Amino acid sequence: MTTSLHRLYSFRRCPYAMRARLGTLFAELKVELREVILKNKPAQMLAISPKGTVPVLQLFDGTVIEES
Ligand SMILES: N[C@@H](CCC(=O)N[C@@H](CS)C(=O)NCC(=O)O)C(=O)O
């Protein structure tokens, strides 16, 4: 059985990503955390958010939130 989770592209030391991680914690939103190397951003992330900044939250229904 596979479980679909929301997915959060993040970078540990980024204050915006910290805000997003806190937001998901306070909202008790279970997310799959994808730690990104900013110099080598994953194609999957750039496909849904071409501006290439973190955080990016992709909800399991496909909705993309790309601003903290
Ligand atoms: N307005 C954006 C700003 C996000 C942002 O600037 N994040 C930085 C890291 S702290 C980033 O991804 N920079 C892209 C890069 O360094 O390539 C937000 O609030 O989410």
Q: Which domains does the chain have, with CATH numbers?
A: 6-65 (3.40.30.10)
- Cα(1) to centroid of ligand 1, in Å? 35
49 Cβ closer than 6 Å to some ligand 1 atom: no
pLDDT for residue 2 is more than 80: no
For the CA of 14, the closest atom of ligand 1 is 10
Name residue 10's beta-bridge partners.
35
Residue 33, pLDDT score: 97
The Cβ of residue 68 has, within 10 Å, a number of other Cβ atoms equal to 18
- Cα(56) to centroid of ligand 1, in Å? 10
Could you tell me the two tokens for 64?
A: 């993309």
Phi, psi of 2 (to 5 degrees): -110, 145
On whether the CB atoms of residues 21 and 3 are closer than 8 A, the answer is no
Q: Is the dihedral of CA 40, 38, 10, 63 positive or negative?
A: negative
pLDDT for residue 4 is more than 80: no
Residue 44, pLDDT score: 97
Residue 1, pLDDT score: 58
**Residue range 14-54, pLDDT digits in tens:** 999 999 999 999 999 999 999 999 999 999 999 999 999 99
Could you tell me the two tokens for 32?
A: 């799959």
68 Cβ closer than 6 Å to some ligand 1 atom: yes
